[in-house]
Amino acid sequence: MARAQSDSSEELLGWSGDSRVTVRSAGVPDRNGKCVVYWMQRAQRGVDNHAVDLAVNIANLLGLPLVVYFAGISNFPHANIRHYAFLNQGLPDIEADLAARNISFVLRRAPHESHEQLLADVHAAFLIGDENPMREPERWRKELASRIKIPFWTVDADVVVPSKLMEKAQYGAYTIRPRLFRHLPEYLRPYENLRAEHAWKVPRGFRADSVHEDMTRGWKDVDRSVVPVEAWKGGTHAGLERLKVFTGRLLVDYDSQRNHPETDGTSCMSPYLHFGHVGPVTIALAVDAAVKANPRLRAARDSYFNELIVWRELAVNFVRYTQKYDSPECAESWAKATIREHARDEREHLYTLRQLEGAKTYDDLWNAGQLQMVRYGWMHNYVRMYWAKKILEWTPDVATAMKYAIYLNDKYFLDGRDPNGYAGIAWAILGKFDRAWGERPIFGKIRYMSGRSTGKKFDSNRYIEQMGLLPEQRPLF
């Protein structure tokens, strides 16, 4: 190792105390190590990535090259070919953006994606990883930390304000909002995008897969029934292009158009946020820059920040601090009481999962939303709220409603399998983050949304007509 341990320990100690960093496995870097490794999983981007910046700092400090490693696993929970295709489209961007920073990118796909084997093959001295509040990825991190002997730190790279600063589960947007905004001046800052000082030399006989090929080729256990969506292109570069459209053309009308599913009025950044192709700090800084150029956009920015920062990071907080975030058990006491009181209420309409999946209900607005999900992997958030609440009304009980909503959410949405999705379903079905409303059948005190009132708030007939288009025709964005 190029630098002595005593020369680097003080700086490493300082970085370990960063609020974005969690030390999973302590200790000193391997003296015989030949590189620093960043295991990329949640933050799938080569630029504007706190984890990459920290890994570069450590590699430069130790006088070592940096290797960024992505493991292509064939059994990611609830993932199908739609998700893998979008992810795959982002890999060439990662490789190119890292190469511009003198950083090597290594893809290993199943069945050769062993983390420990990779660390051994490159003789890693230090491991950096991503934070991810979801249950299964958190288990992976804990298991890996227990098996390796080199330092392993993870970085909270996909929130504006580090999640640990909230310390506990927040009751609602009104409790987390002031806490988040108090920290914005410190954390809403441009990235360093540091360059690695040392290039990595690929060892002889080293195994890696091409980022330009189909990562899923030969995988027999991948669900291929949900086809990729041609209207979306994954990757950092495509995400940044969409961000330019939003800040340059759509932001001016965001405040008035964001609740109109029949128009292209939202950022459509959620799939890029889910895969980490574009981070929330990058988006927030771009919106701030637009406001500096045009102060009249300030109200639109404030409205958008409420979604991008407040509600999104409330969802992350929810999943981080709530063990059963995908179960009725996560409901508040008042909601559990009203659910029990109305458990046996008669439903006028009951639909099977297959009927719901096929958009075979009497409600054209709901069917339109379901078709948008199935065909395009996306649904306007306002319709998503209505969509989930009707599933509660059309299924025998709350547990079934949660099960069906999560199944559909995770199967079809590009941004499914995400804290935002689970928090949104909990809000709609369990009243999470909401208050008690007036008593009514089935819902009890949980907020109700009717097709009539919902449809009056935007041009629902136009939206329904749009979703009646042939599948090959382009969607709203």
Q: Domain 5-157 belongs to what topology? A: Rossmann fold (3.40.50)
- For residue 217, give the 3-state DSSP assignment: coil
Alpha-carbon distance 10 to 8, whole Å?
Answer: 6
Q: Rounded to whole angstroms, what are the CA distances from 83 to 71, 266, 410?
A: 15, 21, 10
Alpha-carbon distance 119 to 103, whole Å?
Answer: 16
Provide the pairing of β-strand 104-109 with 66-72.
parallel
Residues of the chain with pLDDT under 50: 2-5, 469-477
Would you list the domain boundaries of the chain?
A: 5-157, 236-321, 328-467
CATH class of 328-467: mainly alpha
Digit-coded pLDDT (tens) for 151-203: 999 999 999 999 999 999 999 999 999 999 999 999 999 999 999 999 999 99
Q: Which helix (H) or strand (E) holds 67?
A: strand 66-72
Give the per-residue pLDDT at 473: 38
Q: What is the pTM of this model?
A: 0.95
Q: Which two tokens stand for residue 126?
A: 């230090």
Give the per-residue pLDDT at 1: 53
Cβ burial, residue 400 (10 Å; 0-12/13-18/19+): middle
| Cα angle: 25, vertex 55, 181; to 5 degrees | 90
Radius of gyration from C-alpha coordinates of the chain:
23
Contact by Cβ (8 Å): 143, 135: no
CATH class of 236-321: mainly alpha
Give the per-residue pLDDT at 9: 87
Helix, strand and coil in the chain, % to nearest 5: 50, 10, 40
